[in-house]
Structure 1
């Protein structure tokens, strides 16, 4: 249960250094400083809260169920792809990574010892993985409201790349229990660094505002889990490689499998990052090799390097399904949220477009900037365990 406490701290930004974000994304340094102070306060409350429940019976039982589920998922993914070869032996050059990346998220090697399957499964899947305290960072200028509920967000066009089956589990930091019924948006750039659904300077999506590739919504199950079939994201100028997640609580799901506008709260805004050696290996494959945009490393990114450390780890765990990337990846991460907070009015939250029955539409009210008021939710005076 010690690993669950990892989600408690959020490191400060290095505000003095100039940085490039998504094209069209702007940040007020003073506002960011205020948000840093608010996050530090949240981390303090979350630590006290989680410490009181991380070793409880229900938390230990949840760990056992996580082991069984993730091991089963890996087996089923390999079976579906008719993969009989052992996962590739793959290690990162730890000396070349920044300090917070020293933790080896690649669990491929641990699955090779067939004589100790149970031990391997516990080693790989048993520990609480990285938690991300809300709100991680901005949702960027490319969030689209109204994406369809679907697990497989890959489409026939513009979705070629290394397959990733991503499992995300949401844990309430106040109780250490799963968060069922949350509606989770996912979106990321395709292999050539372009987002669907938005067509503006810096990001001209193929098929324009009507495009939906690599976007979707899933609802967490009783274990607080959602699964997405997507691809490893491509890079673009000014940002390290990342995947977006945004989580709604108590939002209304319409019969057409979209979310009703204006319902529910925004409980988490986050970006998942991917370690450099894995990214390099992926980008040596087609169609990533056709991406001519400059690469930004994790160390150069305006968000990941300032926020990530041994306590705050935004890198998913992962395993190769087979002996090379052609077989795809299984990745998983645990995210700690405070279900009592709402970031709808935060400057981190903005809607670039709406996808409706007649297609996609630009949010004219946004004007290239987040639509939130810029305020952070008030911190509770105490957090109960």
Structure 2
């Protein structure tokens, strides 16, 4: 069985719960805390993290008008944030020495692997949707995603001893963080994406239980088609990408990724740049 098969089933269950809760909210029901997804794959255990509760702003930068709160999403079965396990026990990349870094292509804390792939720079701008989209300074954002082959460090076969493609950055005065990474692969049943968790401060970014928002970033079709169709090492993504769409993806299908689809520029030769404005209520 593929490493992701069990995780997809749990993602679907989580998505259905989230849809039901949104319907209840429209009907006037009281807010209900969302649960995180369970574990998945041969090396993953159960996840106990939720989307977290709102935290206070650590500061604010420039205002840019109106914006929308990004949907809370499942962390999936491979968060590596201390809320679930692999075959060796609890997995927590957040406590690793060196995890606070902008270039996440290599492993840290004694592991020496490097994730190969098309270069990609990711800029996330965290804004306060309740205050004219002012940039939020001093928040910590933990970003993680799969390799070009579709596996997750710490969990997937062949990379359980690695912790690359995971890292934490603190938002600057404009609410921005910037990661240097590689374009992720596409695996069966999921649109190409990245995961991230938002914490009210770097000091609180030690467990997924402390986050104020968990969500996902979707990559646009044109960039995915170019990478998977021309770059070496992505052959496994071709058939998986051909079989999925934003409308069929079990995470992005409910709102079409309207607030989660990144803007991407660049090419395979020189690399890509992706950016996304992330609105939260702070």
Taking structure 2 as the reference length, the TM-score comes to 0.69
Cα separation, 1, equivalents of 2:63 and 2:142 = 24
Whether 1:25 and 2:18 are equivalent positions in the alignment is no
Whether 1:308 and 2:256 are equivalent positions in the alignment is yes
Deviation at 1:62, TM superposition (A): 4.2
After the TM superposition, list the runs of 4 or more consecutive aligned residues in structure 1 that deviate by more than 6 angstroms. Answer: none
Whether 1:240 and 2:191 are equivalent positions in the alignment is yes
The 5 A counterparts of 1:309-324 are 312-320=258-266, 324=267
Structure with a larger share of its residues in strand: 2
Cα separation, 2, equivalents of 1:317 and 1:29 = 24
Give the match's secondary structure for 1:307.
coil
Whether 1:192 and 2:149 are equivalent positions in the alignment is yes
Give the match's secondary structure for 2:226.
helix
Structure with a larger share of its residues in helix: 1
Aligned-CA RMSD value: 3.0
Contact 1:167 1:333 in 2 (8 A): yes
Deviation at 1:306, TM superposition (A): 1.9
Deviation at 1:330, TM superposition (A): 1.4
Taking structure 1 as the reference length, the TM-score comes to 0.51
Cα separation, 2, equivalents of 1:316 and 1:262 = 24
Cα separation, 1, equivalents of 2:24 and 2:178 = 31
What whole-Å deviation, never above 9, does each CA across 1:144-191 have from its counterpart, x for those lacking one?
123311100002745111111111111111213211111111011111
Instruction: Give the aligned partner of residue 80 of structure 2.
Output: 144
Instruction: Give the aligned partner of residue 275 of structure 1.
Output: 220
Q: Taking structure 1 as reference, are residues 30 and 184 closer, same or farther at Cα in structure 2, changes over 3 Å only?
A: closer
Instruction: Give the aligned partner of residue 216 of structure 1.
Output: 167
Deviation at 1:131, TM superposition (A): 4.7
Q: Taking structure 1 as reference, are residues 267 and 38 closer, same or farther at Cα in structure 2, changes over 3 Å only?
A: farther
Alignment match of 1:35 (pick from 16, 21, 31): 21
Cα separation, 1, equivalents of 2:195 and 2:234 = 19
Cα separation, 1, equivalents of 2:223 and 2:15 = 32
Q: Taking structure 1 as reference, are residues 338 and 40 closer, same or farther at Cα in structure 2, changes over 3 Å only?
A: farther
Instruction: Give the aligned partner of residue 289 of structure 1.
Output: 235
Cα separation, 1, equivalents of 2:137 and 2:23 = 30
Cα separation, 2, equivalents of 1:325 and 1:39 = 44
Alignment match of 1:133 (pick from 63, 70, 75): 70
Instruction: Give the aligned partner of residue 162 of structure 1.
Output: 118
Instruction: Give the aligned partner of residue 179 of structure 1.
Output: 136
Deviation at 1:25, TM superposition (A): 2.4
Cα separation, 1, equivalents of 2:103 and 2:203 = 21
Contact 1:134 1:267 in 2 (8 A): no
Give the match's secondary structure for 2:191.
coil
| Larger radius of gyration between Structure 1 and Structure 2 | 1
Instruction: Give the aligned partner of residue 329 of structure 1.
Output: 272
Matched residues, number: 222
Deviation at 1:260, TM superposition (A): 3.5
Cα separation, 1, equivalents of 2:215 and 2:150 = 19
What whole-Å deviation, never above 9, does each CA across 1:105-147 have from its counterpart, x for those lacking one?
xxxxxxxxxxxxxxxxxxxxxx97x755242x11111101233
Deviation at 1:328, TM superposition (A): 0.5
Cα separation, 1, equivalents of 2:177 and 2:78 = 22
